[in-house]
Amino acid sequence: MTLDTQIIAALRSNTAGVSSSDLCNKLGITRAAIWARIESLRNQGYEIIASPHIGYRLVRSPDKLNADDLHAQIPSKQIIGRDLCVLEQTTSTNDEADRFARQGAREGLAVFAESQTRGRGRLGRIWSSPPRKGVWASILLRPPFTPAETTRITVMSAVSVARAIQLQTGLKPEIKWPNDILLKGRKTAGILTEMQAESDHVNYVILGIGLDVNQTQADFPAEVKPVATSLKIESGRAFSRTDIALALLRELDSDYRRLCAGKFSAIAEEWEGLCTTLGKEITVTVGNQQHRGRAESLDPSGALLLRTVFGRLERIIGGDVSIQKNR
């Protein structure tokens, strides 16, 4: 743990204030060194009051993701987020996580960026990631799965992201098959999983998550405006992106443990409860092919079973789902 991590952790666990001498004892450094670190935190936007009676007290944190601050609040037993970094700007956090993965980083690494210049979705689509408006993150996993079993991570991540949003905001997220997270029918989070595998063995998986937190309507590019939303738009208030990021890591950690402990069916059940695509008339577009029908149910692997207009049951594992309106 860095000094800043320890200082922030002490300030956060002593909301009434922590004395300079306590900090000195805890960290084994001088008063002057403590003061210098406090000054540096203030320069980063942390509002810290100092008074002779109560010592240092944290009154406000900046709207900024800070690796020390995140680290100070992540329980030591958590795998996801145990290694992390925050970048001011990058092309895509998936690219960065991929680079770390190639260098042998261990699983659980979380890469955050305050903005992405080439945030991406499926098939090279753009994910708008303006500075300090959302949580743009990639998680490195090394699951003990075959390539085919990795689709379970899609199911898992949708459940984790939806639950994190619900716990932090009280909003009621829905899942659009397979893992878009919607609020009142509009997309608020997207998840893109990229895998590096050999024929029978997964080297690693990068779970990329884009979560729209504090955007207003005006922050969205014209082409996604009609279909996108943010936590702020839906709830009428802004959220601490640090808290949202921590909730994401925590819920992912808990579900990933369940998944690795062989509890996929429990996760899939939770997913089914949140998936609002079921029962609807939908069109699935795969390349230049379209499948139309009623989304009937999910099979045990999470694939969508579509009852076509001809009564045949088709198993859908990819493509773009659009839900027919006015039915």
Partner 1 sequence: MDLKDLKSIIDLMRKNSVSELELEKEGFKIRLKRGAEEGQAVVHHEYRPVMGQPMMYSQPPITAGATGTAPEPVRVAEEGTEIKSPMIGTLYRSASPDAPPFVEIGQQVDPETVVCIIEAMKVMNEIKAEVRGVIAEIVADNSKPVEYGQVLFRIKPN
| Residues at the contact surface with partner 1, assessed by CB under 8 A | 1-2, 67-68, 71, 82-91, 96, 100, 103-106, 109, 111, 114, 117, 122-125, 146-148, 150-151, 153-155, 178-179, 191-200, 205, 286-289, 302-303, 317-319
The set of residues, in sequence order, having a beta carbon less than 8 Å from that of 82 and lying 6+ positions away, is 74, 76, 108, 109
Residue closer to partner 1 by CB (options 199, 265) is 199
Q: Which residues pair with 313 in a beta bridge?
A: 307
- Taking the complex as a whole, the smallest distance from the CB of residue 52 to partner 1 amounts, in Å, to 33
- Taking the complex as a whole, the smallest distance from the CB of residue 236 to partner 1 amounts, in Å, to 31
Residue closer to partner 1 by CB (options 24, 197) is 197
- Taking the complex as a whole, the smallest distance from the CB of residue 17 to partner 1 amounts, in Å, to 27
- Taking the complex as a whole, the smallest distance from the CB of residue 254 to partner 1 amounts, in Å, to 21
Residue closer to partner 1 by CB (options 152, 294) is 152
The set of residues, in sequence order, having a beta carbon less than 8 Å from that of 240 and lying 6+ positions away, is 61, 63
- Taking the complex as a whole, the smallest distance from the CB of residue 74 to partner 1 amounts, in Å, to 10
Residue closer to partner 1 by CB (options 146, 217) is 146
Extract long-range pairs of 120-123: CB within 8 Å, 24+ residues apart. Answer: 120/92, 120/94, 120/192, 120/208, 121/190, 121/192, 121/210, 122/192
Dihedrals phi, psi of 156, to nearest 5 degrees: -60, -50
User: What is the C-alpha separation between 302 and 316, in angstroms, rounded?
Assistant: 9
Residue at 12: amino acid letter = R
> If you count them, how many residues does the chain have?
327
Residue closer to partner 1 by CB (options 52, 124) is 124
Burial group, residue 292, by CB count within 10 angstroms (0-12, 13-18, 19+)? middle
What is the four-CA torsion angle of 197, 202, 203, 208, rounded to 10 degrees?
90
Residue closer to partner 1 by CB (options 128, 169) is 128
Residue 128 is encoded by which pair of tokens? Answer: 């708008």
- Taking the complex as a whole, the smallest distance from the CB of residue 235 to partner 1 amounts, in Å, to 27
